[in-house]
Amino acid sequence: MDMSAYRDMFVSEAREHLQNLNSSLLALEKCPTDANVIQEIFRSAHTLKGMSASMSFKEMETLCHRTENLFDRIRNGQLMADSKVVTVLFKSLDTLEAMIDAIETGDSGSLDVSALVKEIESMDVNSCDSEPAVTKPAHEAQPVNAAPAAGDTPEVQSMAIPAGAAAGSKEFEVVVTVEKSCEFKGIRAFLVIQQLSEIGKVTSTVPEIKDLEDEKFGQEFTVILQSDKAAEDVQRKARNVAEISAVKVTEIIRKDAAGGPVKPTAKDGTKAIHSVRIDIDRLDIIMNLVGELVISRGRLFEISGKQGIHELNETLGMVDRSITDLQNEVMRIRMLPVDHVFNRFPRIVRDISKKEGKEIEFTIEGQDTELDRTVLDEISDPLNHLIRNAVDHGVEKPEVRVAQGKPAVGHIQLIARRERSNVIIEIIDDGKGIDVDRVKKKAVDKGLITQAQADAMTEEEGVMLIFKPGLSTADKITEVSGRGVGMDIVKTKVESLGGTVKIETRPGKGTKTILKLPPTIAIVQALLVNVGSEKYAISITNVVETEYVKNTDIKTISGNEVIVIRDSILPLYRLYRYFDVEVDPSITRHTAVVVEKGEEKVALLVDSIESQQEIFVKPLGGLLQSIKGFEGVTIMGNGRVVPILDVATITEVKK
């Protein structure tokens, strides 16, 4: 059977098992005698071995097999999972990940693993030729591609009856019993069906395919098979699958009205598709089409308002509900738990802390908080950098912490939560904090600010200097940090997503970095404002409040215009000066839109606010990408293109 169709499925499932192995191995390192963790590790390793064998990735199977042997010796108490053993096992997982990366690109995933295999075997001299204390899978006694591997294989999302050989002259009822201890009954059922389809045609199952996929059956299920093989061959084929305790094969003799035997006829195999994998690019296309519907909806509302046709209004109400439901469903499909990104960080913290000689306890909260897939992908690298900084710059070495009266073990927390319409991600450490005076001095030395500016800065403003390009407070350059790159990229990336970054620090106590992110960047609520004859949109996630302003309310401090709102002095930016828009000089009352810019608030002066509505964000491309002040455009119902303001960059150059 051609298994290439299962490549994407294999990659996805293999990554999940690798992540599970990484997480479990971290837990095992903390508690080497935890039987449940050891069993979970062995199960995942065994599954990964079966998967790689079924796909004929021989080098991967070899490495999985040796790794499984080592896990088995740990499980049987013959080997202690000390730091040396765990480090080698992590090296094995890293190599397996490299193989999967290669397989994903269409390669065979072949790597020379002989040196690593020897290193694994050296952990115990008797591990080389030993077999795991489990039933020996059938594929180890046969050529790899003679049959799919016993043991686990990829759990397909759309399990279907595979197209098998032409129907033979016999029909069999195959009753399969799965072991009570089996953890993945659905996978076993699929494997049995796959095995039997190689020697005949599977015409039906009891229960149905969908119920087998959802594991809605007890310990038994039945397969109806047409084949020209003997009953013994059918039984042997089904028993090739691991964790099958019994297989009963009975030939079905059907009789016609005269009492004679009826030759079984082949039925058209139908594939029951329960769920499918969708490429993210296709979701982007669907989202773009939904955005076009949102734009058309606005146009229809505008026409409806002008024409006043009752039937049109009634129909438009139904169309509006349908578009809203469609939009919500598409958005829901695109949402993923942040755990898809968070789950890689425990391993990163472990590796860096070992290398730096630090002891760190890393905890994660809010893994179920959801973000749009695009936002989640974009935020991965900034979070990676912030976590590395917390380990490298934040938490001190044990002897330093003890000398300061702190526990030897440092703590880093990664927390995600929903807050109104935003997602908040916090990285908190109990390390040495940030020396703001030192940050200011570094900025002055590098010519990023003047001494006068440094002296006038508040504590909060001084901390934010670490986001200046080229600024680093590290005493030496390491592979983790110290080159003055990264923090500015973090801020740029977060703000490009419509979010903000804020840092709170206490010298000697620790640092908290707070990221505020919109759950999605495709369709957002926005404030439409008028400036002269032009319209602009401002994402509502950036807006704090609005206030009417008279010309007499505008003051000047050090040559810069400001306004005072509830005892707070806010910098004022007149949008018409940015975009060279002509305004009516006789207007004496304006509207100030107060927005968040990083850790501070600023006021944008506009003529008036038109409305608040949902808009579809179309990003700028080509040469327009370099224009500061815009993060995209939207199209109104009348076809008018309205720029969406980028609060983060619009105030960088004063006019």
Active centre residues (catalytic): 46, 68, 389
Q: Which residues contact 619 (CB under 8 A, 6 or more apart)?
A: 631, 632
CB 461 within 8 A of CB 439: no
What separation, in Å, do the N-terminal and C-terminal C-alpha atoms of the chain show?
Answer: 69
The reply to whether omega before 207 is within 30° of 0 (cis) is: yes
Report the helix count and the strand count for the chain, using DSSP H and E. Answer: 20, 22
Tell me the DSSP string of 520-532: -SSEEEEEEEEET
* 274-278, long-range: CB < 8 A, 24+ apart: 274/157, 274/158, 274/159, 274/210, 274/213, 274/214, 275/157, 275/158, 276/157, 276/158, 277/8, 277/9, 277/12, 277/157, 278/333
Tokens of 533: 């004859």
CB 497 within 8 A of CB 648: no
Q: Which residues contact 308 (CB under 8 A, 6 or more apart)?
A: none
CB 535 within 8 A of CB 629: no
Phi, psi at residue 528, to the nearest 5°?
-95, 125
What does DSSP assign to residue 255? B
472, 362, 479: which is closest to 413 by C-alpha?
A: 362
Helix (H) or strand (E) holding 160: none
Report how far residue 316's alpha carbon sits from residue 302's, in angstroms, rounded to the nearest whole number.
Answer: 11
Residue whose pair of structure tokens reads 């809010």 in the numeric block: 366
Decide: helix, strand or coil at residue 263.
Answer: coil
176, 205, 338: which is closest to 272 by C-alpha?
A: 205
3-state secondary structure string across 63-123: HHHHHHHHHHHHHCCCCCCCHHHHHHHHHHHHHHHHHHHHHHCCCCCCCCCHHHHHHHHCC
